[in-house]
Chain A
Amino acid sequence: MLGPSGCGKSTLLRLISGLETLDSGAVLFDGKSQEAVAPHMRGFGLMFQDLALFPHMDVQGNVGFGMRMQRRSSDAIHRRVDELLELVGLAGYGRRKVHELSGGERQRVALARSLAPEPKLLMLDEPLGSLDRVLRESLQVQVRSILKEVGVTAIYVTHDKDEAFAIADAIVFMDGGLVVQAGTPEALFRAPASELVARSLGMRNILPGRLVQAEGVAQVECAIGMLAIGGGVPVGVSSGGDVLVLIDERGVTVTIAQGGEVPADALAGVVVAREFRGGESELRVRVGNGELICAVAQRDAGADVEVGDDVTVVLPLGAVTLLR
């Protein structure tokens, strides 16, 4: 579940787990209503952002807690705790105290703890939120592979789109307590349902425009010029109607202007700002009456431009999408 802060994703998790009560509606699991079932009887796991590892127990005490509640034999518990610690890469950590662990280690203990009692459903509420970027990115990969290996159904809540892309099989985008769009990461990216979704997915070239021709080759007029559209026209928009134009920053080709005429399917622009980002450079190019953000890979010729250069910008058909 992806969405901005305050959109209700954490509340939704709490409703599913039973820690909050519904005013109306129902939570159905396997077709059965969970209303009468107390949280500790539902068999769902929940991993909080602040982890809430029990400070008065050591690592194996924490991981084994759920199984102790299920009254399994201490042998079985011991075996499974070792199994899980191995799975999360913390073999041998059983006796360590919680306060002796690093951030990443605590994360993995919390994951192991929630997996240990074999929940029917595992919910994770921004579990990596408190970690630094590098650690977060490496743990994202690990979390996904662990969840896949265990095979548990999981709901992962985050406000970070990159995290959502890295972890999810499917994404539900929420805003203001409502589901705005649901689908695979690719589907969301290719056709965001609204400007909010587009912005949340990191798209920055969102320009207001007017549809000029609806049949045959559609064209849209916007601040940077007249553009040809490759994909479909949004349902319900006719010629003359307002649309939003999405331009993929990485789909754009930028080359130094060769002087003379601008080719027919290209636009003329001036570089206004340039930011080096390692593998690529981010350019802000003034085109027509608007501005375009272009991400250019370092090895492309266009990466060598300087601020103030005249450039030619080519927008392939696939780089431009329309939104209502």
Chain B
Amino acid sequence: MRRLILRRLGIGVVLVVVASAVTFVLIALVPGNAAQTILGASATPAQVAQLARELGLDRPLWAQYASWLGHALRGDLGTSLVSPQPVTATLDADLSVTLPLTIGAVGTSLVVGATLGTLAAVRGGAVARLIDLAAMAGLALPSFWIGLVLMELVAVKLRWLPATGFVALGASPLEWLRSLILPIATLAAGGVAAVARQTRDSVDDVLRQEFVTALRADGIPARQVLLGHTLRNAAIPVIAVSGTQFVAALGGAVVIENVFALPGLGSTVVQAATDHDLPLIMGAAVYFCVLVVIASLLVDVAYSLINPKVRLT
């Protein structure tokens, strides 16, 4: 187990370095540069060149990246070009929105999706067709469309939940939950559909296996065959793809936070992209990568716990 974790952490570090380097190179392609952005369009070329030198932008690209990486390793991701805030301060604050949002969405996807998928596989018939249809809609409709429609129906028409905005957990736990319900439901829609399909195929697959036949022939109650044996086996491939679910939820959060005006990583990254705030975008890319690495590590650990065939390695 310890070897597994160490190995995944090693891969994760490599991944974060590679991804940040790719981002860095992409940013270097920008026509104009950070100095131009800071000073605005009215600056003279001499002023820009002066600031570029101060910022070290005249050095070779690898040297710039090395110095960025050196600072990053000490927890310094630079300062935003737009606000005087350190990048890490902005992004840390964002995490308190994005983390509950994505964790809630992935959790909902897994619980609801697995339940529906199992129901479809076991019941068959009309129930299965209905679930198939819903899954198809969930996968085919853009998530932000689902979010906009939910907002109109649940928040504007029925006034059950707030339409937009975010209330900090510390300010009011109840309002915090209410402000997150719609975004989580929206973000989970695609995931529920994907997990339901995966679970259904997986349960179908296990139900055809010889050991299930043997258990039924032995007179083991249907409940026990399903809960004790079938689902445990069917969960293995579902857990294997739940890492993808988390990556997808992080990507989806970028759009959904904008729909619901939530002040999270996604809103920040879109704003930064619009403002050409490159240090902030760079920092956000690193935060996202680190989250992905942590999530896939947790998935691997869960996977090895449930699948005895990998538990030893």
Bind each other: no
Binding site for A on B (CB under 8 A): none
**Interface on A for B, CB 8 Å cutoff?**
none
